[in-house]
Amino acid sequence: MNKRIYEDSMIYIEIEIAEIPWLKIFPKSDVKELSQCDDKTRKKLFEVTLLIETQMLKYYNPKKINIASFGNYHPHLHIHIMARFEEDSFFPEPVWGKKQREATLNLPDFKQFQLLLLKQLEKFT
């Protein structure tokens, strides 16, 4: 499966294969920190992060959206956006935390979410 679901001249978006809806946004510039981005790239990262958050809230109706940026193992700036559900395996822990239960989520189709998201992303190109 191709993890990259979107790309333009400044950013690309990848899916993280997980039980929850989880996307990662990367700038194309080789930077480790948000403060190292030029203003245009930084603005685009924030706008796309908010767009993904908004679309996940509408489509999946999660309990919470988690947004994170670590990059400790792979020192290239990237932003994680995850839809979280009370019944997911780790909630209320972070997805990198202690597993709380075995979960089987019955979520709307990701492919349909991807199509809706791509239509919205067209507005940014």
Q: CATH number for the domain including 11? A: 3.30.428.10
Task: Say if residues 28 and 9 touch (Cβ distance below 8 Å).
Answer: yes
SS3 state of residue 27: strand
- Which residue segment(s) compose the domain that 38 sits in? 4-124
Task: Say if residues 28 and 13 touch (Cβ distance below 8 Å).
Answer: no
pLDDT tens-digit profile of 55-66? 999 999 999 999
Q: Which tokens hold the place of 28? A: 């194309």
Number of domains in the chain: 1
pLDDT tens-digit profile of 5-54? 999 999 999 999 999 999 999 999 999 999 999 999 999 999 999 999 99
